[in-house]
Amino acid sequence: MKRYAMSWIYLALITACFYALYNIFIKLASTHINEVTGAVILQVVAFTLGAAWLIYLKVNRMPIEVSSKGIWLAILAGVFVGLGEIFSFFVFSKGVPASAGIPVIIGGSVLIAAVIGFLFLKESLTLTNVLGLILIVGGIWLLSKGGK
Alpha carbons 126 and 80: distance in angstroms, whole number: 28
The number of folded domains in the chain is: 2
Looking at the structure, do residues 60 and 106 belong to the same domain, yes or no? no
pLDDT for the residue 10: 87
Looking at the structure, do residues 89 and 25 belong to the same domain, yes or no? yes
Tell me which residues of the chain have a pLDDT lower than 70: 1-6, 147-148
pLDDT for the residue 25: 95
In-domain check, residue 1 = no
Looking at the structure, do residues 73 and 123 belong to the same domain, yes or no? no
How does pLDDT run across 38-79, given as a tens digit for each residue? 999 999 999 999 999 999 999 999 999 999 999 999 999 999
What is the tally of helices (H) and strands (E) in the chain? Answer: 5, 0
Looking at the structure, do residues 45 and 72 belong to the same domain, yes or no? yes
Looking at the structure, do residues 65 and 78 belong to the same domain, yes or no? yes
pLDDT for the residue 1: 45
Q: With beta carbons less than 8 A apart as the criterion, state whether 101 and 65 touch.
A: no
Which residue range(s) make up the domain with 51? 7-95
pLDDT for the residue 144: 82
Looking at the structure, do residues 88 and 133 belong to the same domain, yes or no? no
Looking at the structure, do residues 79 and 115 belong to the same domain, yes or no? no
